[in-house]
Amino acid sequence: MTDIVERIDKLIRGWEMEYGITNQTMVDAKEEITRLQSGPGGIMEMKQTIANLEKYRDLVEYITSDYVELSYDKAQWQRDDWRKRCNKLIIEDHTK
């Protein structure tokens, strides 16, 4: 189980370095990893945490693999779409 925790922590650090993700959600995820590593929680909670982190990873991969919009107006629309997707994921994560 420690190997999984280390892999998740390494993945999060990679996101921070590669994509500049530093919002409170990622900080909360690191704290959750520490809590799971040192306290009670069990394997089911660990699996749920991994599933939640994978949703964030998938969103980051979606944004980074999206095409580069050259039109100023369309670039604003694209940015707004990404922001809406991020906010939706954050809201879903915090309502659980």
Residue pLDDT, tens place only, 62-90: 988 888 888 888 989 999 999 999 889 88
pLDDT band at 53 (very low <50, low <70, confident <90, very high): confident
Residue pLDDT, tens place only, 8-37: 777 767 766 666 665 666 677 777 777 766
Global pTM reads 0.51
For 62-84, the DSSP string reads HHHHS----SHHHHHHHHHHHHH
